[in-house]
Amino acid sequence: MFRKTFSLLIICLLLPAFAFAWSPEKDVTVIVAYKAGSGTDTGARVLMQYARKYVGQTLVINNLPGGDGKIGWTELTRSKPDGYTIGFINLPTFTTLSAQPQSTFSVQSIIPVANHLTETCVVVVKADSPWQTLQDLVKACKGSDKFRCSTNGNKASNHTAAQLLARSAGFSYKAIPYGGTADQLLALRQGEVHFSCAKIADVAKLSVGDSPELRILGVFDTKRLAQFPDVPTLGELGYYKEWYGSARALVLPAGTPKEIVDFYEDAFKKTMTDPECIAAHDKANLHLDFKGSTDLGNLIFSQLVFSRDVISSLY
């Protein structure tokens, strides 16, 4: 009996380290802090469809919208750090909200796993609006204080884009917050507001075809977008000259063991380099931008600085 036990012990010691690596043994909850059909939700569902192959379990999306993301992110950061709850954050919205007084979460409440998408912001109006160019819109806004812009929430990412445009172009407007990008763009399409700022993936399909619903007037980038080469950058027109947009990234609750973080980082790296996954993102106009945990951590820090030094001056 002793010899058998000793032999088993030797075998275990000789097994490679990865034989003891963590992997989930049941379904994994994926928290999305915005409603179903939103840009974040759409991207999450595309990614999770292919991630199951590498995670080995079903990834169940749990939409917890409200409070510009606060409700979902509070739940995510308070979840048990056992590897069975993972979630998306949106930058810079997460860092902006985390820096607010009495915030229920902070950057210390999460552990970076992997960046998923990087999305450039654009300025949009209804396709049948009287403003053919961004200069037309700016001129109209300067001549009146009645212009309304829909946003994805107070001080959320698209609200910040509108602030960057208005400050750099020298006009005032009234920001109308909605529960997320989907509702924000619906308000624009229904004529409740005059213009909006959103990420390109959220508006691309609505801006092309025989009967487009939206018209893109400007791009928050240092160069024009390949899929919309006729649309100028804001900098070309003398407005905000830097890139601005949003990153959507996967994180775990603080306190999650390193072997779990390593597992998910590896699984999502494999997912985002899978040719079928890449093709699905391209079809959905989603710009895959994988960054590992270290690079994502650096991005979160830089966005925290941006929130403190730039965004705080806009409101």
The pLDDT of residue 153 is 87
Smallest Cα–Cα separation from 72: which of 86, 56, 58? 86
The pLDDT of residue 285 is 82
Smallest Cα–Cα separation from 134: which of 198, 64, 225, 218? 218
- Structure token digits, residue 149: 């812009």
Smallest Cα–Cα separation from 113: which of 314, 263, 309? 263
* CA–CA gap between residue 270 and residue 156 (Å, rounded): 31
- Do the domains at 23-119+245-313 and 120-237 have one common CATH topology? yes
> Residue 179: what are its φ and ψ, rounded to 5°?
-75, -10
Cβ proximity of 145 and 110 under 8 Å: no
Residue whose entry in the numeric block shows the structure tokens 């396709």: 127
* CA–CA gap between residue 112 and residue 290 (Å, rounded): 12
The pLDDT of residue 3 is 52
> What is the pTM for the complete model shown?
0.81
The architecture in CATH of the region 120-237 reads: 3-Layer(aba) Sandwich (3.40)
Radius of gyration of the chain (CA): 22
* CA–CA gap between residue 195 and residue 189 (Å, rounded): 9
Is cis: bond before 177, omega within 30 of 0?
A: no
The pLDDT of residue 12 is 45
Q: pLDDT (tens digit, 9 = 90+) per residue, 273-306?
A: 999 999 999 988 888 999 999 999 999 999 999 9
Q: pLDDT (tens digit, 9 = 90+) per residue, 189-235?
A: 999 999 999 999 889 989 988 889 999 999 999 999 998 999 999 99
The pLDDT of residue 92 is 92
Residues 6+ apart with CB under 8 A from 17: none
* CA–CA gap between residue 72 and residue 64 (Å, rounded): 5
Provide the sign of the torsion angle of the four alpha carbons 163, 165, 168, 174, taken in this order.
Answer: negative
Residue ranges of domains in the chain? 23-119+245-313, 120-237
| Residue ranges for the chain with pLDDT beneath 50 | 1-2, 4-19
Q: Using CB atoms within 10 Å of the CB of residue 234, give its burial: 0 to 12 exposed, 13 to 18 middle, 19+ buried.
A: buried
DSSP string, 168-185: HHT---EEEE-SSHHHHH
Q: Where are the alpha helices (DSSP H) in 143-274?
A: 157-169, 181-189, 200-203, 258-272
> Residue 111: what are its φ and ψ, rounded to 5°?
-120, 125
The architecture in CATH of the region 23-119+245-313 reads: 3-Layer(aba) Sandwich (3.40)
HSE-CB of 91 using CA atoms within 13 angstroms: 25
The pLDDT of residue 182 is 87
